[in-house]
Amino acid sequence: MEHVLYESKDKIAAITLNRPEARNAQNKQMLDELDACWTKAAQDDDVRVIVLRSEGTGPFCAGATFDELRSIADEAQGTVFFSGFAHVILAMRRCPQFIIARVHGKAVGGGVGLAAAADYAIAAPEASLRLSELAVGIGPFVVGPVIEHKIGHGHYIAMSVDFDWRDAAWGERTGLYARVAATAGELDDAVASLAHKLAGANPGAMRELKRVFWRGTDHWDTLLYERAAISGALILTPAARAALG
């Protein structure tokens, strides 16, 4: 794989976004590779916990890459692209292992969705959040359900409507982040400590707990793809084309 790295050691799988030169933005290839990585980890009985991280010192994930959005030529192609976000969120939800997100920098759009789809996210103080989709003529349709599930209806509405930046402390207050570390070193220590602790926990108990965490989301198997079609149509509108430049 090119845009996502996969490594497994000592019952811990690490899935790493590997496009630091592009702010770890999500193109179709990255989404496909992420989906494959979650499937691989889910099927590995030796993996007890998964850590999601990204390379570089810049953004954790800048959301969908504009070049990919500009290249969409028709609704079918748009639906396929936005369905990639659905594939990833659903694959994360279906993984029997707990997923820890190490969010070291800014998360935008689909990056917020990744953090929300993790079972436990630990962030750095620089890990601010933004749902910027309305600014480019669409909306956070596919990632919306998982974000709303994590932070609640009101906070999700506010993020979607004003598309302002929110700092990591806000993310912790609303439950998107389980905790915010004081420094990058403390972030790494916290992620490693929790991952090793969970690697020794009962996998059956974690699997059943995860089912409890994501109870009431079975309808996402249909809903997220319906939302992908909405985004696939909106990205072709004159307003969206003008916003993308």
Domains and CATH numbers, the chain: 4-183 (3.90.226.10)
Distance CA 166, CA 194 (A): 26
Q: Are 39 and 6 in contact (CB under 8 A)?
A: no
Q: Cα-flanking dihedrals φ and ψ of residue 23, to 5°?
A: 60, 30
Over residues 118-127, the mean pLDDT reads 98
Provide the CA 205 distance to its chain's centre, in angstroms: 24
Closest CA to 15 of 39, 124, 113, 187: 39
Q: How many CB atoms lie within 10 A of CB 235?
A: 26
- Structural tokens at position 41: 């980890």
Strands 49-54 and 4-9: unpaired
To 5 degrees, how large is the angle CA 61–CA 115–CA 81? 60
- What percent of the chain stands above pLDDT 70? 100
The CA distances from residue 2 to 16, 34, 60, in Å, are 11, 11, 17
Residue 11 gets the label, from left (phi > 0), alpha (psi -120 to 50) or beta, of: left
Report residue 1's pLDDT band, with 50, 70 and 90 as the boundaries: confident
Distance CA 234, CA 224 (A): 15
Alpha helices (H) along the chain: 28-42, 66-71, 75-94, 110-117, 144-151, 153-162, 168-174, 184-199, 203-213, 220-234, 238-244
Provide the whole-model pTM.
Answer: 0.97
* Distant-in-sequence, close-in-space partners of 192: CB < 8 Å, separation ≥ 6: none
Report residue 60's pLDDT band, with 50, 70 and 90 as the boundaries: very high
Question: pLDDT for 178-193, tens place per residue?
Answer: 999 999 999 999 999 9
Q: Which residue has the tokens 């974690």?
A: 206
Determine the 3-state secondary structure of 13 from DSSP: strand
**Residue-level pLDDT at 65:** 95
Over residues 110-128, the mean pLDDT reads 98
pLDDT over threshold 90, residue 70: yes
Strands 12-17 and 4-9: antiparallel
pLDDT over threshold 90, residue 64: yes
Over residues 117-127, the mean pLDDT reads 98
Question: pLDDT for 180-233, tens place per residue?
Answer: 999 999 999 999 999 999 999 999 999 999 999 999 999 999 999 999 999 999
Beta bridge partners of 5: 16
Mean confidence (pLDDT) of the chain: 97
- What percent of the chain stands above pLDDT 90? 99
Q: Which residue has the tokens 């994501």?
A: 214
